[in-house]
Chains A and B, each alone.
Chain A
């Protein structure tokens, strides 16, 4: 199998399978989660706290006071990675073309130099948070196989994309094929690992904010 054949498979059947598994998994988990139901809370709410859930979505997305100083790698690394990843994902023209191919939607992209900076920042942040996870005894104790798997599955698309774009180490066609395949792995794993937070993060933040609001600790 040549690199171009691998790429063709990745763009064809591979992508179909990955997207299908991803869509199946996301719907499955969403139905499962929302279908769980909660016990009716019979107690009277402590506070009248309309909008606590919505405010929590924002407040939990910001670092609590003092925490940036206390855990700079976790917070700064986390922000830089998520921003870099999002910019690379949503504003690199070939990625927009992919979305256009799938949905018909498109928007203007950014120059490749900016994408490059975002990707490098994302990669460095990922390496930094992994190093911190490994060196910090508490974090290491709390980390399981799934955490490392999630890290690897996020790192690979960025790394292979970077190699492909800069023609480093491996032939471009092969790098592009590996890049597409690594994204497909990410898609397949997304619904069934902690990576599902891409879909559930704001839902759970809203729920936590709302329930705590009722209990008297509204944000």
Chain B
């Protein structure tokens, strides 16, 4: 990121984009970053100065679903993102180079942009045997530490990098941990989801390149603009929850009418994400709109958070046997107590001595 490099605004201008086009870009960027339209002038001013940041993307124990998601972004498109807005210097799946040339590109980017580049990580890091996951013979842990050392900030993309995800699900055979468990001395932002919404990934990147800083984060290290409200609160079916109208099965009248999916196990009330407003596939739909409850994929440890199709208020494990046994135990204990009480009463009766007036007179 040398300073003779053009700013984002200059790059757009060189492509023949007018001020009007630039303002349109700012307006769609504001929408992308989930910022209010009133922020457009501030975004325009920031983009006048912003330069393309160098981005290094590391993939550890992951399924490439997050990268698949990234490539589905339409605003900005992955091409637009890489050509105009960021300098993606290392990404296994997207880069043309391989082997030593790829690693050399990573090292060069780290050297040239020391202290300024953005590190994006998807996948969790195995703390068990280092050989569980390596890149170019380097363990994930070592590569993360080495690459994070010179980064301005780290973005953990996807539930695996943010919380451990599937690899960390019980019994966690590889000892998988999230990025935040290892990197303590850098700002770490979590962008959870399995995968995260494409435009949320590009949205946080846009935020970093626009304002050269991470957006405001919540307690779980998530950007508040995207993860500030629950699916349930932003769900267009919420009015049905309030009216007490629920789908009871996936093909009943209620389901056809688009009623609330709470009873079918929707985790919308405890899931914080932007699905209900940003939606997926260019804003076409999201799971609830397609008739399936939210499974809560962007919450910590969601793999171990109970059955997907049980309502939130239902018990997770069957309790009938245990309660039955406890009731039987209570009955036995109660009967034993009753018998003891009766025995005590009987013995008191047996020990009872009759006292006559004569006895009392004698005692005088």
Contact of A7 with B by CB under 8 A = yes
Shortest beta-carbon distance from A26 to chain B in Å: 7
Shortest beta-carbon distance from B306 to chain A in Å: 6
Contact of A5 with B by CB under 8 A = yes
Interface hits, A1-38 → B, CB 8 Å = 2, 4-5, 7-8, 11-13, 15-16, 19-21, 23-32, 34-37
Question: How long is the Cα–Cα vector from A94 to B244 in the complex, in angstroms?
Answer: 10
Residues on B with beta carbons closer than 8 Å to the beta carbon of A108: 244
How many interface residues does B have (CB within 8 Å)? Answer: 50
Interface hits, B131-188 → A, CB 8 Å = none
Shortest beta-carbon distance from B194 to chain A in Å: 15
Contact of A111 with B by CB under 8 A = yes
Residues on A with beta carbons closer than 8 Å to the beta carbon of B220: 2
Q: Which residue of A lies closest to B310 (CB)?
A: A101
Interchain CB contact under 8 A, A173 and B333: no
Question: Which listed residue, A15, A110, A167, touches B233 by the CB 8 Å rule?
Answer: A167
**Per-position binary interface string of chain A over residues 80-104, scored 1 when its CB falls under 8 Å from any chain B CB and 0 otherwise:** 0000000000000111011011100
How would you classify the secondary structure of chain B's contact residues: helix, strand, loop or mixed?
helix
Question: Which listed residue, B243, B301, B311, B337, touches A4 by the CB 8 Å rule?
Answer: B301
Question: How long is the Cα–Cα vector from A2 to B329 in the complex, in angstroms?
Answer: 34
Contact of B62 with A by CB under 8 A = no
Shortest beta-carbon distance from B337 to chain A in Å: 5
Interchain CB contact under 8 A, B243 and A111: yes
Contact of A113 with B by CB under 8 A = yes
Interface residues of B (CB under 8 A from A): 220, 230, 232-233, 241-244, 246, 262-263, 269-270, 296, 299-302, 304-306, 310-317, 319-320, 322-331, 333-335, 337-339, 341-342, 345
Residue pairs across A and B with Cβ atoms less than 8 A apart, 13 shown, are: A4-B270, A5-B300, A5-B301, A11-B316, A20-B325, A24-B333, A27-B328, A27-B329, A31-B330, A94-B313, A98-B315, A101-B315, A112-B244
- Closest 7 A-B residue pairs measured CB to CB? A35-B338, A31-B334, A27-B330, A101-B314, A20-B326, A94-B313, A24-B330
